[in-house]
Amino acid sequence: DVKVTQSSRYLVKRTGEKVFLECVQDMDHENMFWYRQDPGLGLRLIYFSYDVKMKEKGDIPEGYSVSREKKERFSLILESASTNQTSMYLCASSPSGTGYGYTFGSGTRLTVV
Amino acid sequence: KQEVTQIPAALSVPEGENLVLNCSFTDSAIYNLQWFRQDPGKGLTSLLLIQSSQREQTSGRLNASLDKSSGRSTLYIAASQPGDSATYLCAVIGIQGAQKLVFGQGTRLTINP
């Protein structure tokens, strides 16, 4: 089975800190995605990547950046964490091409205080 | 812009009942539709993937149907159990969407013993 691993289940950070959320997949998938999930707002796409060193903005990229130096790893970076970035963050991957589904990680619950 | 709607938002039924969860989407030009399950505080678990050329998929007590022309999908759960209690999310990958999943808000299901 494909595994998508997010390095932390829970994180507490202070306002203004630089925060790294790491995601690793083990099935050689080309596509990787970062979503955040908030009550009443559902899942919203932050950034995605189709290949190493490639990145595309999603629906809510402000305040975030990403890094994909290796195919299996996709990092989400909060440049200067703010309290409105308190959320559940979900990473996903999928093969390229049509006809394939997504596999999600177990999520990181980030609290910014 | 693709929009996905799930009705009802919440559902509570006694154990043993068969039930149907509904999903509708506004743009019928899709590659796939995927149903997920999410337990509180956890990531998303894929239940069923229906490709656009398919009408239904089955896994155990779960059956998902797709009517692309009308923009609808249903998830049928047979002989419900308390362990089925979770939030169920429907998501589509649109032909215009660059392989990005667009999610509904989910149906929160409670099965009462």
pLDDT, tens digit (0-9, with 9 covering 90-100), for B45-100: 999 999 999 999 999 999 999 999 999 999 999 999 999 999 999 999 887 766 78
In chain A, which residues have pLDDT < 50? none
C-beta atoms of B34 and A105 within 8 A: no
| Closest-CA residue of chain A to B95 | A98
Provide the residue type at B9 as one letter. Answer: A
| CA separation for the pair A37, A107 (Å, rounded) | 10
Write the DSSP assignment of B43-110 as a string of letters.
Answer: -EEEEEEEETT-SEEEETTEEEEEETTTTEEEEEE-S--GGG-EEEEEEEEETTTTT-EEE---EEEE
Q: Does A42 touch chain B (CB under 8 A)?
A: yes
pLDDT tens for B28-49 read: 888 899 999 999 989 999 999 9
List the single residue in B45, B100, B105 with the smallest CB-CB distance to A48.
B100
Please name the member of A43, A90, A101 whose beta carbon is closest to the beta carbon of B32: A101
The CA–CA distances, whole Å, from A5 to A35, A73, A107 equal 14, 10, 9
Q: What is the pLDDT of residues B3-31, one digit of tens each?
A: 999 999 999 999 999 999 999 999 988 88
Give the pLDDT of residue B8: 92
Interface of B with A (CB under 8 A): 31-32, 34, 36, 41-46, 49, 51, 89, 91, 93, 98-101, 103-106
Contact at CB, B104 and A102, closer than 8 angstroms: no
Q: What is the pLDDT of residue B95?
A: 78
Task: For residue B92, give Cα distances in angstroms to A10, A73, B25, B79.
Answer: 29, 25, 8, 27
- Residues B30, B79: contact at Cβ < 8 Å? no
Q: What is the pLDDT of residue B98?
A: 65
A98-102 contact pairs (CB < 8 A, 24+): A98/B31, A98/B32, A98/B51, A98/B93, A98/B99, A99/B31, A99/B32, A99/B51, A100/B32, A100/B49, A101/B32, A101/B34, A101/B46, A101/B49, A102/A33, A102/B34, A102/B46, A102/B91, A102/B101
State the pLDDT at residue B97: 61
pLDDT score, position A2: 60
Q: Do B98 and A101 touch (CB under 8 A)?
A: no
Chain B contact for A94 (CB, 8 A cutoff): yes
Interface test with B, best of A102, A106, A108, A109 (most B CBs within 10 A): A102
